[in-house]
Amino acid sequence: MNSEHDIRVRLVYGMIFFGLLFSCIIARLFYIQILDQDFYANLGKKQHHIEVDMQSRRGAVLDRHGREMLFNHEHLSAFIIPKECCDNTKFMRFLKNRYPSTFHRIEKNPDGQFAWLKRDIKPHEVARIKRLGFDNGLIHFIKEPSRLTACAASSAVLGATDVDNKGISGIELLYDRQLKGSPAQYQLARDARSQGLVFDRTLIDVGQPGETIALTIDKNLQAIVCDELARSMKKFKAEQGCALVMDPDTGDILSMVNLPDTDKNSHNIIVNDCFELGSVMKVFTALAALDEKVVTIDELIDCEGKGTTLKGFAVENLSTLGILSFSDVIAKSSNVGTAKIALRLGSKLYDHLVRLGFGSHTGITYPGERSGTVFHPSKWSNSSPIAMSFGYEVMASMLQLGKALCIVANGGYEVKPRLVLDSTPHEKGEQLYRDEVIEDLKKILENLGSRRPVDGMRTMGKTGTARVLKDGVYSKKDHRYAYCGCIEKDGYRRVIVTFSSGIKNNADLLSWQIEGPLFQSIGNRMVAYDRLRGALRV
């Protein structure tokens, strides 16, 4: 009887136990599936998906005729999921040896969901990863956007982007906000059966594509100028060179070439560097003297043979020169004759150099633009106006030189260099110099320019050969060579500035031998191109 009772009691307790156990399971399932379903749904989603932000397609950069100068392409990048690989001894040893920065990031956060192995990974690195078998679930690959230059010798102007496709120099930096747009968001799907290997990329948020920027550059002319500059540099074994072409009426920069040029080159000699330019500055000494009426183009000036002493300062001519008209003083580049006229100008030389834009920014709004230096007369020595008259004690950029010559070429009107097209209608600037003064100066420059004529054009120009200052002494072997010139016919006007440096073992070479032919070849090919496209009447 007692035995029968005990069995019943045990049966009741057993039923109560299993009933409670079943109730707990039901309650737990209710909690998981009903009350806390969002948490577990997200957990499951995280196990099979990763969400990453990537830069949207950057805006196009076009030339003045709508041709693409930069284009978007994709490069391969590699990433890992730390929590999936930190227990793999062989793989972690590989990371430590080949990618130490990634290894240390994983050490600090072993449970992470995402870590870049390397952005823009190179083909030989991908081949090594596949050879070791690490592409099967440990290292994943994805394509990311990046930029390539589609225009000859334009990297220094267009600039570059970093690994995140963010502008870091040039136009890419200056207009980064407009070009980059807003990031797109992607979901990377992972196949659990293949140990986390990425097999798909789904766009979640398209982001905002970047805006289009149109430059004043002519892509075809850029290629022409690049070709001629490269040819000249090869001939004379120059280390560095640049060439600038401008429309003097609008200030539009039609070509801006810097060599050597690479995709990652961010140094724009024309805007970012300043030099003592030598005799090209005699153009503006002459302009100031004519405007101040301290000389006429026909006045005879004694150039004192090989040289003389002025204000206690020794001044030399390149060759023996006698009595010359002021026009020939500039054409034959007499330092003595130019210095004598500069002494008549005195501090007014400073006023005119500043009026022409030397010593200040040009208004182009470009990263790293240098303002150069023109010392105020209060800081002059007795020799300052003499040295400044033929291009020393004045630090100037090629762009400043181009802007100043544009003022001469366009009839004496203020002009601001422009690299980006906009919808603002062009307005003529203030007239800084009278018509007759400009015409007299053009006659002087034509005297020299006719030696390097451009087909069918009125050709004007001036050379400059400047010694390089080394350890406080001007070198007799190292020079910088420059040419500034302009051409015109029937309303068509162009300014061309060229520059070369680093020409070794050629101490006897002068600018008219190096930069003169370069100016002429660029001018002839540009005129032929503009005639072909109808911008210039035959």
Instruction: Match 């300062």 to its residue by tokens.
Output: 313
What is the SS3 assignment for 15? helix
What is the SS3 assignment for 262? coil
pTM for the model: 0.82
Which of 53-57, 86-90, 365-369 is predicted least confidently?
53-57
* Contact between residue 226 and residue 153 where contact means Cβ atoms under 8 Å apart: yes
Q: Give me the pLDDT at residue 196, please.
A: 41
With 50 as the cut, is the pLDDT of residue 536 above it? yes
With 50 as the cut, is the pLDDT of residue 197 above it? no
* Contact between residue 356 and residue 411 where contact means Cβ atoms under 8 Å apart: no
Q: What is the dihedral of CA 387, 391, 392, 395, to 10 degrees?
A: 140
Instruction: Match 């990377």 to its residue by tokens.
Output: 188
Q: Give me the pLDDT at residue 264, please.
A: 57
What is the SS3 assignment for 138? coil
Average pLDDT of the segment spanning 56-78? 86
Q: Give me the pLDDT at residue 2, please.
A: 57
Higher pLDDT, 477 or 397: 397
* Contact between residue 405 and residue 399 where contact means Cβ atoms under 8 Å apart: no
DSSP state letter for 113: S
Higher pLDDT, 114 or 291: 291
Write out pLDDT tens, residues 229-281: 999 999 999 999 999 999 999 999 999 999 998 755 568 999 999 999 999 99
Whole-number average pLDDT of the chain: 86
Average pLDDT of the segment spanning 188-193? 55
Which of 95-109, 201-215, 290-304 is predicted least confidently?
201-215
Phi–psi pair at 504, nearest 5 degrees? -90, 150
* Contact between residue 283 and residue 381 where contact means Cβ atoms under 8 Å apart: no
Rounded Cα distance, 360 and 363, in Å: 9
Q: Give me the pLDDT at residue 194, please.
A: 43
Q: Give me the pLDDT at residue 71, please.
A: 77
Write out pLDDT tens, residues 133-155: 887 778 888 777 778 777 777 88
What is the SS3 assignment for 491? coil
**Residue 46's pLDDT band (cuts 50, 70, 90):** very low
Comparing C-alpha atoms, which of 375, 388, 381 is closest to residue 341? 388
Average pLDDT of the segment spanning 393-409? 98
Rounded Cα distance, 291 and 293, in Å: 5
Q: Give me the pLDDT at residue 426, please.
A: 80
HSE-up of residue 65 (Cα within 13 Å, Cβ side):
9
**Residue 43's pLDDT band (cuts 50, 70, 90):** very low
Domain with residues 219-532, CATH architecture: 3-Layer(aba) Sandwich (3.40)
Strand order from edge to edge, sheet including 49-54 = 49-54, 184-191, 197-205
β-pairing, 240-246 vs 253-259, is antiparallel
Q: Give me the pLDDT at residue 352, please.
A: 98
With 90 as the cut, is the pLDDT of residue 227 above it? yes
Higher pLDDT, 52 or 438: 438
Q: Identify the CATH number of the domain defined by range 50-214.
A: 3.90.1310.10
Rounded Cα distance, 257 and 232, in Å: 13
Comparing C-alpha atoms, which of 334, 337, 339 is closest to residue 383? 339
What is the SS3 assignment for 110? coil
With 70 as the cut, is the pLDDT of residue 161 above it? yes
Average pLDDT of the segment spanning 381-388? 95
Can you spell out the DSSP letters for 22-60? HHHHHHHHHIIIIITHHHHHHHHHHHHEEEEEEPPPPPP
Average pLDDT of the segment spanning 480-508? 92
Q: 55's torsion region: left (phi>0), alpha (psi -120 to 50) or beta?
A: beta
**Residue 45's pLDDT band (cuts 50, 70, 90):** very low
Q: Give me the pLDDT at residue 285, please.
A: 98
Instruction: Match 């400047």 to its residue by tokens.
Output: 466
Domain ranges of the chain: 50-214, 219-532
Question: Do the domains 50-214 and 219-532 sit in the same CATH topology, yes or no?
Answer: no
ω into 260 cis (within 30 of 0): yes
Phi–psi pair at 87, nearest 5 degrees? -90, -5
Percentage of residues in the chain with pLDDT exceeding 70? 83
13-to-16, 24, 186 alpha-carbon distances in Å: 5, 16, 57
Q: Give me the pLDDT at residue 11, please.
A: 67
Rounded Cα distance, 214 and 158, in Å: 11
Write out pLDDT tens, residues 215-226: 999 999 999 999
Which of 86-100, 115-129, 258-272, 478-492 is predicted least confidently?
258-272
With 50 as the cut, is the pLDDT of residue 125 above it? yes
